[in-house]
Structure 1
Amino acid sequence: MKNVTALALLLGFVGLPAVAAQDAAFQHEAGLSYNANSEEFGDGIWNAKYRYYVSPVDQANGPYALNGFLAQKSNVGANYSIFDAADVDTLGFDGTYVFDSKWFVGGQFQRVEFGNNSGSVYKLDGGYFFNDSSKVAAFYIDGSDDFESQFGAEVRSFIDFETTTGIDLGASWTHTDADDLININADWYVTKAWSVGLGYADVGSDDAFMVKTAYWLRMSDAFSATFDLSKDLDSDADGYNVGVGVVGRF
């Protein structure tokens, strides 16, 4: 049944007529997505999310997927995900306040229900937007029960290109009791809607490389469909990671 539902959602996107978009500003963003491995597409994760920005966000500013990041505006959000295959439900809330000086502080709370057990995780972060498309931040993560606290830092920057839209670069370092974790990502936006990228993760005992691509299909200013595809290289896992979703902006 889950296979049929996800396939119907995907086919519904293809059949929708495109409407001329004017890149109107928005303050509300809501989305529904489904992510799974192509080998076990019926055992995926459903995720619903909502975000409110305190002032309008310009859709003409950079790639559509990065409008929120490039806006550098205070916002609050909520998300809920269901992973039936692992019997896991997650409910989360987060918010970021951006000062006029471009310093910012944020917080995130996640409540996870897994089987008959439950736990909570929270994250505090703060940083600085050092230009119109870049930030640097530090964060602290802790949780209930046996969760081991973590801390780290991250940097992210979008660089405009003359011939294509640009490249989104990001890196993070996380310290845990067991080891230090490194993540590096580079997404080249060929257009405002289409990107191709590479990812690298060093998780202490092992490392992983990923190739990926994503597309933001604009139906109108208020409605879009999103698609993403990735593949873990040098991994024992078969298949591709597939994501499909809908996004509403108003």
Structure 2
Amino acid sequence: MAQSSNIGAQYSLMNTEYRGIGGNNDFDTDSYSIDGTYVFDSSWFLGLAYQDVNPNEQNSVYDQDSDTYTINAGYYITNSASLSAFYSNSEQSDEKDYELYQLAMEQSVDSYGVEYRHFFAFTPLSGIDLSAKLSQEKLDYVSVSSGASNTKNLSNNTVNTAIINLNWYINRSWSIGANYQWLDIDAEHIATGDLEWHTNMSHSDSFYGLKTAYWWQISQHFAANFSAAKLFGSDDANRPDGFLVGATINGRF
């Protein structure tokens, strides 16, 4: 587990494919990010990150591009374990102007939580990386339709999440892993205008995943990462399983 100050940049391309009752969807997502971490002599660390995500999803009414800012702080408990807390904010907005009507939406997502990481070394080149994260996400969404019909939709969602990730690094380049994710969702939806309604719902769900990745160290500062993951939606029969394939270019200085 690296315990030194660094600055990094990353570009990734992820392909998402899923099959569901509502139809099939297959699209690519481009992601650009920059991050930096400063490690103090006392083993405390502070990090900042920015990420720009651009899904090329054709079935979406609105542009799904988003900007996310994250700050995290933590402590290296030992040479192989750390505990940290984080906060992030993501914003989205878009407008559509058609002949008979106009659409507009704004979305804000605030997330915060804690994460524990521990690396169990088997040899100098292999080991298991275990991480556990608890987080809460609050989403505020507003969409407005005007013209032929006039409707305003409001959504206020709170999502509590628990995630466990386990990656076995067989050697310095290749890893295989599994993850488990539990979600608890409270959602409120309000519509006003020509169409009025108000609903509340709460439910929990679980997901599992298997993955593998290969790390290619191109030079001292640049590396490429190739990954594949299979996702399983266990509790909801209407929720589609997914298969993800990704490629990432990393620069670390």
TM-score by length of 1: 0.58
- Counterparts of 2:247 and 2:14 in 1: how far apart (Å)? 15
RMSD: 3.5
Shift of 1:190: 2.4
Shift of 1:211: 1.2
Determine helix, strand or coil for the equivalent of 1:200. Answer: strand
Task: Check 1:228–1:118 CA distance in 2 against 1; reply closer, same or farther (3 A cut).
Answer: closer
Q: Larger Rg: 1 or 2?
A: 2
Letter in 1 for 2:245: V
- Counterparts of 1:127 and 1:210 in 2: how far apart (Å)? 27
Aligned counterpart, 1:126: 73
Greater shift in the superposed pair: 81-90 or 224-233: 81-90
Deviations 1:216-242 (A, max 9, x none): 356787876643222113466467423
Aligned counterpart, 1:92: 33
Task: Check 1:172–1:79 CA distance in 2 against 1; reply closer, same or farther (3 A cut).
Answer: same
Aligned counterpart, 2:9: 78
Deviations 1:120-153 (A, max 9, x none): 3211110011111221100111234531322100
Shift of 1:185: 0.5
Q: How many residues align?
A: 181
Identity of aligned residues (%): 38
Aligned counterpart, 2:172: 192
Aligned counterpart, 1:242: 245
Aligned counterpart, 2:227: 228
Which has more strand, going by share of residues? Answer: 2
Alignment gaps of 5+ in structure 2? 16-25, 56-61, 92-105, 139-157, 185-203
Q: Do the aligned residues in 1 keep the contact of 2:9 with 2:250 (CA within 8 Å)?
A: no
1:202 aligns with 2:149: no
Deviations 1:155-197 (A, max 9, x none): 1111112598211100111112312111111111222332221
Greater shift in the superposed pair: 98-107 or 80-89: 80-89
1:149 aligns with 2:110: yes
Q: Do the aligned residues in 1 keep the contact of 2:10 with 2:251 (CA within 8 Å)?
A: no
TM-score by length of 2: 0.58
- Counterparts of 2:65 and 2:229 in 1: how far apart (Å)? 30
Alignment gaps of 5+ in structure 1? 1-69
Letter in 1 for 2:207: A
